[in-house]
Structure 1
Amino acid sequence: MPNFNQGPPRKTPEKITSPEISAEFIENLFNSKKFKETFKRTFNAVGRDAREWGFTVFKALRSEKVLYSKPIGGEWEDETVLGVAELEVHAKIKKNRRLEKENFFILLRLHFHNISPNEDRVVIPSAEDLMTMSNVREGNSDNTNYGTPPIGTIALRTSPENSKLLLFQENIDHPIQREGIFKDLADSVQELLHNNDSQEEIIRILKFYGYKTAFIPDFSGEMTKENIKLLKSFAFKPKAVSEEDEDEM
């Protein structure tokens, strides 16, 4: 006989995967056709217009789905208006319920610096570059409730075929809290412009302030095995915002 006291069948609880940016995902991202094509378009635009150009890569919190902004250049030689292109991606996400449920955040922000007489040798993050990445981190946390520091990438076009890349990312566990640090850091970096070993010193200073870094001195659009090994170090597992708050106490 049927058991009428038995309630309706229980739904199996949905398995919630922990967000993780794996080393394999990082490798696949930089080796992907989409990344190479977007980088090439941006690289060519810099050579054509002699202005700063860049693009942004968004990632879904719990899947490996990514969205790219269009490459965009600034109105002046020393600016990139990546925020404008990012707003277009945010608008696209809001119009699509399926995308909206994915909790996209900014994973990578890449822009070219216009080459100055001092920058033909070294890649230098400005105070604004560092502060912007910190602000993006805060926006990521607000959107996803996870601490997801973006990977900043500054590129220099050094020839019609090649460029240099400097990647940096704030400490996963301890966000930089004081804005003055960005100016102090940038001032320290600027003092090294004329040193022969300035690129190594710039990286050393960034690491001293807790940044994860990688430097690729000769990039022609294809990542070498050595490059990929460096980039894999940017794999990380985001913490829930509540966990980050506890760490700060």
Structure 2
Amino acid sequence: MKPIIVMQSDFGTDSGLVASMHGMCRIVDRELEVEDITHALPAFDVKAASYCLQYTVPYWPEGTVFVSVVDPGVGTSRKASVARLKNGSYVVTPDNGTLTYLQDMIGITQIREIDGQKNRYNNTRDVHTFHGRDLFAYCAAKLASGLITYEEVGESYPVEEIVRHEVYGAEVSDKYVKACIQSYDPFGSAELSVLNVDFAKTGFKHGDMTDITITCEGEEVFHERVPYERSFGYVPVGSNLIFNDLASFVTIGCNQGYFARRYGLDGEKEYVVEIREA
């Protein structure tokens, strides 16, 4: 059985771009199965691409070939790469920070730069702005179909040279966390920079009340006692809670409410979050 190809990008779904990438895979091999994560990632947001991959990749079969194309440097000297992960899957992507969370949370055993002479679609060599189709989808399809081995992708280079974006950390101790808001989910919940597994080290248990303060440039924008619960249904509609999010990080949200909008949180601003025992 051939590996599945799974794609994500910032291309949107209101044009033929995604269909062209799917079609390229079928040109290489009509039997390939091609699926999508999302094509609605924020434009040019490499960090969002990286974040999305880290909580999606573990839930596909070993050997899956992921194609991630958020590529503000398309057509330039940035490396086009294929990373082999410790779980046996592959990620075909520009090496521009997209691999950061995967490197930290799953692990990368090897990375190779795509040989553009051998593993690029020949019929569009005069086009330099659609590597998603002409380089990444094409190379991924050759790899998934078995037309090339991983070693034939191109020359390897040190894993230590992988380009990384900034990763926010967290200070964790007994009944205390200092972190930041690193993203917002589709329901407006604020995803923090503390991993679920690290939050467990604080000693907080489900049902505990916490004291949460959120500041922006030293100004307090939120201060409230908030329960730590398994899920939204443990608090009344409209009430806030903190919980272990599916995307690996502890999150502050509101039962059937949009937390970020309720408190005027701005995705362009930086917020510091402190969690203490109530």
The reply to whether TM is greater than 0.5 is no
- Higher-RCO chain (CA-CA 8 Å, sequence separation at least 6): 1
**TM-score, scaled to structure 1:** 0.29
The structure richer in helix per residue is 1
The structure richer in strand per residue is 2
**TM-score, scaled to structure 2:** 0.27
